[in-house]
Structure 1
């Protein structure tokens, strides 16, 4: 599921069907969208991305005839932000940042690190979970080729980041946590 600061909400069900939340109070507040995805994220109404079961990457175009544009590459998880930032991880746990050049044969830049899940609130608010469940925050301090990720206490199976800096995660027991950083809890 992906929820954006502008109120945009998208989700996929266990059958890989795609839905967009309309926000009205009628019985049809979830509208089906053509396509099939296993992961989806919404940074805004105009920045919705998904990954299908084969690792294909798609960006929502809002065109009725063909609502999804296939982007080169292969990912297993994707995160999109309101500022247009998009990150992903592949099945080998490699981390990538979208360069914006969708006409390129490789519009993804590899970033040091090993993650299973990724969440993007903004260009400066990128979080991930590694295959062992450890939580990491991206620092962008990898000029020497070192690790640009800082380990954060806790363990997670999935993570979400908001444009306002808010970060949430779910652990293997299904418990939900909000990151408070150095704030009193």
Structure 2
């Protein structure tokens, strides 16, 4: 049986194949969905990536994070818990000599709670479906996302974002709903029940 492979669609690493390891819940973001996302980002960022800090929280194959790195993002931090996926991410980083990429092996919630670096300009969330990950993550995001930072989410259903987040774009490909949101820091209050 032929191994499944996805490819980076734009930037310096364009057409680079990304091997897909066999891991439960792993769904690489399809090429056309990544192309749509980065068209959206191009619109909101004017094509400027060099000063951007990006967190790919459920990295999986790294398709989203390496796509951002390929387009010149200043810093891309990937988080993944599956050992085989982590090994594949590290191998691809080494092959690409992607100095702007850091790979962290660990649990997404633990990493979110321990992050102490500058807030991120974009957080990308493509967690395993139907495991309640987003409910556990919403309240942690304001601490690690800069004011007016962006949030990209893939989910099994269309999202109704909680207070403090503004839906900018959304679309659907097959069974996957994908969304781009802005963190509206001016709405952030510690007493907001929607994000507590």
Q: Which has the higher helix share?
A: 2
Q: Which has the higher strand share?
A: 1
Ranked by relative contact order (alpha carbons within 8 Å, sequence separation 6 or more), the top structure is 2
Q: Same fold (TM over 0.5)?
A: no
TM-score, normalised with respect to structure 1: 0.31
TM-score, normalised with respect to structure 2: 0.30
